[in-house]
Amino acid sequence: MPQRFTILIPDVLDNADIEEEVFGDEYRILTPKALEADEIPAETWAETDAVLAFHELSFTSEVLEGMPRCKVVVRNGVGYDNVDLKAAGELGILVCNIPDYGTDSVADHTMGCLLALARRLTMYTESIREGEWKFAIDTPPHRLGGTVLGIVGMGRIGTATALRAKAFGLDVRFYDPYVPDGTDKALQVTRCDTLHELLAEADYVSMHCLLCNETREMANAEFFGAMKDGAIFINTARGGVLDVEALTDALRSEKLLAAAIDVWPNEPPKEGPLVKAWKNREPWIANRLLVTPHAAFFCVESIEEMRIKGAKEVMRVLSGTPPRNCVNPQFITHVRAGDHLLPHLHRIRPL
Ligand code: NAI
């Protein structure tokens, strides 16, 4: 069968077995596994109908202009800051992402952190290692049922976390000024009108908002000051929402009982006072901080799902069907894949 479309997977993969199965014989898939755009010959870029991009390469206007046949760049992942959305839009190239491949894993990871800290697993393990065998520790666990989980950001992951927490009997409340009324009713959870109200009520606070100017360092000294004494803080959103110094102070002063941090402003985290103290097992922090390496999304199934969904999004666009997750509709005035997609794209709210 003649191959009608050339799909370029420029980075990360050298084996496109999953994509081959989705695309079938009509598509030619190239996997140069480059680290820089100029490692890929100009002729390859020129014959590319669609790109499935990971994070290694930057899709600048120059790179995009080198792909006169390209109709869509799908970012295999959530973030798309390595693609010039405006330049792509002006060329009629749709840029799409895969926003949900990690939704359930991040929610599971959040619950894992919450349960581990609530049930004092780190503390028990450490005390046994030190030769003790007693359940009655200084900071005894509380029954989960009826305690309050405060969710900051009730999007996909916030919602998935809320549903899990409800099954454990937690009283779920959230703060998110951008979700419509009725979200609380549909999920049977409580909406807080202000962040302060949420923080004052929650035994656990879990971050699930986007990182933007408004949420940058949202978890700062004032935020921790407004939390209940002895509460637990969890961040699986983005490192930038956290002021690490403020968290350090909140833990050192025992305002917070414990924290679980999957994402840091710099990754791996800088050797600041908190990380140093934790690595050195200083007694004040030893069992009160859970750290994971931006791993909340990660599992075998989520990576497979991301690749399948990426390939399907490409196929939708190349066959003239509207994409599910276009992130540059605001820059699109014509569409290389067909101007019949314009009304659909203009109905999507830019992020
Ligand atoms: P989403 O877009 O579905 O939800 C984000 C929510 O944050 C939205 O409902 C939005 O209204 C809300 N929000 C925006 N500004 C806010 C503010 N000032 N206060 C409170 N809420 C606000 O995103 P999704 O998929 O649920 O992702 C949530 C977070 O998880 C993102 O930061 C994302 O980057 C992160 N993430 C982390 C992963 C990990 O491995 N740790 C993997 C995937 C996503």
Q: What confidence category does residue 100 fall into, taking pLDDT thresholds of 50, 70 and 90?
A: very high
3-state secondary structure 138-159: CCCCCCCCCCEEEEECCCHHHH
Q: Are 54 and 76 in contact (CB under 8 A)?
A: yes
CATH code for the structural domain at 103-291: 3.40.50.720
Residue 90 host element (H or E):
helix 85-91
Q: Is the CB of 175 under 6 A from ligand 1?
A: yes
pLDDT attached to residue 270: 85
Catalytic member of 191, 238, 288, 316: 238
Q: Which residues contact 90 (CB under 8 A, 6 or more apart)?
A: 331, 333
Question: Does the annotation count 267 as an active-site position?
Answer: yes
Q: Is the CB of 157 under 6 A from ligand 1?
A: yes
Q: What confidence category does residue 346 fall into, taking pLDDT thresholds of 50, 70 and 90?
A: confident
Q: What confidence category does residue 69 fall into, taking pLDDT thresholds of 50, 70 and 90?
A: very high
pLDDT at 147 over 70: yes
Q: Is the CB of 236 under 6 A from ligand 1?
A: yes
Topology (CATH) of 5-101+300-345 = Rossmann fold (3.40.50)
Residues, the chain, total?
351
For 224-269, write each residue's pLDDT tens digit: 999 999 999 999 999 999 999 999 999 999 999 999 999 999 999 9
Where exactly are the structural domains of the chain? Answer: 5-101+300-345, 103-291
Q: Is the CB of 179 under 6 A from ligand 1?
A: yes
Q: What confidence category does residue 347 fall into, taking pLDDT thresholds of 50, 70 and 90?
A: confident
Mean pLDDT of all residues in the chain?
96
For 167-187, write each residue's pLDDT tens digit: 999 999 999 999 999 999 999
Question: Does the annotation count 238 as an active-site position?
Answer: yes
CA of 207 to the centre of ligand 1 (A): 8
CA of 206 to the centre of ligand 1 (A): 11
pLDDT attached to residue 349: 65
Q: Do domains 5-101+300-345 and 103-291 have the same CATH topology?
A: yes
Q: What is the mean pLDDT of residues 202-209?
A: 98
pLDDT attached to residue 1: 57
Q: What is the mean pLDDT of residues 93-117?
A: 98
pLDDT attached to residue 3: 72
Q: What is the mean pLDDT of residues 188-199?
A: 98
pLDDT at 2 over 70: no
Between helix 103-118 and helix 156-167 the angle, nearest 10°, is 40
| Sign of CA pseudo-dihedral 113, 117, 118, 119 | positive
For 52-61, write each residue's pLDDT tens digit: 999 999 999 9
Q: Is the CB of 306 under 6 A from ligand 1?
A: no
292: DSSP letter = -
- CA-nearest residue for atom 25, ligand 1, is 156
> How close are the terminal C-alpha atoms of the chain, in Å?
40
Catalytic member of 55, 294, 324, 344: 294
Burial (CB count <10 Å: 0-12, 13-18, 19+), residue 331: buried
